[in-house]
Amino acid sequence: MGLNAGFTRCCAILQLVCLVGRTGPSHGFTGSSDGVKFGGPPRLVASKNYQLTTTNYQLEPYLRRMTKLLDGKVALITGASKGIGRAIAAHFAQLGANVAFTYLSSVEKGQQLEQELAAHGTKIKGFRSDASDYAQAEKLVEDVVAEFGKLDILVNNAGITMDGLLMRMSEQQWDQVLAVNLKSVFNLTKAATKPMMRAKAGSIINMTSVVGIKGNAGQANYAASKAGIIGFTKSVALELGSRNIRCNAIAPGFIETEMTGELDQKVVDEWRKAIPLKRGGTPEDVAKATAFLASDDSSYISGQVLQVDGGMLT
Ligand SMILES: NC(=O)c1ccc[n+]([C@@H]2O[C@H](COP(=O)([O-])OP(=O)(O)OC[C@H]3O[C@@H](n4cnc5c(N)ncnc54)[C@H](OP(=O)(O)O)[C@@H]3O)[C@@H](O)[C@H]2O)c1
């Protein structure tokens, strides 16, 4: 399209937007006769008489893609019985993904989640599996591929804390946190890369933490495990990029879940005050960032650590 033609087309679209802006409330999109309705102000109305398109941008397919960002993908999420993992599983199912997820001790919650997510109309299955156990992780991935036919996305989310100052930290506290938080990421990633390499595609997302970047008194074991995840993520991105397998990490800040629910109210208030956005994050905040890294919208992003922390480390 020539410059003049492009300019004329932009003007026509702007005129249409202004015209519609005068009649409707202030935000959001409504495709009137195509039956696509998104609530909220301002409002942009596209009737059959107007085609809101430019050469590179088509509104209707864009909206469809945004609502079903993970359509047809198969995702495996570890530790989804509660908290962040649960929100990721729910968000992925909502975005059209077929979801396999794991739990360990919260059996009832895991089974309940499987039933709840079935309402989205995609294939959902919960597996009871210990992510820190190498053999169980291998078997889990085999079972998921047998059941779902492929594996596009792996989210290594399972994690625990066993806090204490170094002077008082036992060998067991160290070993267990490292096994559940870091060894699990090795276990699942190694197993998942087999089907991903066959498919020459995959997205792996590892849940680290701002604590893995900054450190935290009383969490030497947890911080070490999360810092280890960052090194692992970058190495896997370097090793598997040529196979079209991407590997990224998400570093949540203070996210209000059962894990942080154990903290003293005073500590929670201090955390909130120190965050530029002045609130703790929600599991859904993390789920949305995870969906982006899982989707083809991030197809040129690998080896990165995305902080979802309300600006905490800025
Ligand atoms: N909340 C935060 O502020 C925050 C901040 C930064 C990073 N993170 C990270 O985000 C992830 C999720 O945290 P969260 O706050 O949602 O924690 P959470 O509410 O305590 O949930 C942890 C999940 O991990 C599962 N899990 C624990 N050990 C497991 C194992 N060996 N095998 C399989 N699953 C296991 C639990 O399943 P069962 O209950 O069934 O055992 C549960 O579903 C963790 O990696 C955490 O380190 C959280």
Domain ranges of the chain: 3-60, 68-308
CA of 18 from ligand 1 middle (Å) equals: 48
Please report where in the chains the tokens 């002077």 appear, as a residue. Answer: 167
Query: Does the pLDDT at position 38 exceed 50?
Result: no
Does the beta carbon of 103 lie inside 6 Å of ligand 1?
Answer: yes
Does the beta carbon of 206 lie inside 6 Å of ligand 1?
Answer: no
Nearest residue (by CA) to ligand 1, atom 17, is 259
Among the options 57, 62, 222, 300, which is catalytic? 222
DSSP one-letter string for 176-212 = HHHIIIIIHHHHHHHHHHHHHHHHT-EEEEEE--HHH
Tens of pLDDT along 236-295? Answer: 999 999 999 999 999 999 999 887 888 889 989 998 999 999 999 999 999 999 999 999
Tens of pLDDT along 207-253? Answer: 999 999 999 999 999 999 999 999 999 999 999 999 999 999 999 99
Which region holds residue 292: left if phi is over 0, alpha if psi is between -120 and 50, else beta? alpha
* 222 carries an active-site annotation: yes
Does the beta carbon of 261 lie inside 6 Å of ligand 1?
Answer: no
CA of 216 from ligand 1 middle (Å) equals: 18
Phi, psi of 203 (to 5 degrees): -130, 125
- Which fold would CATH assign to domain 68-308? Rossmann fold (3.40.50)
Does the beta carbon of 219 lie inside 6 Å of ligand 1?
Answer: no
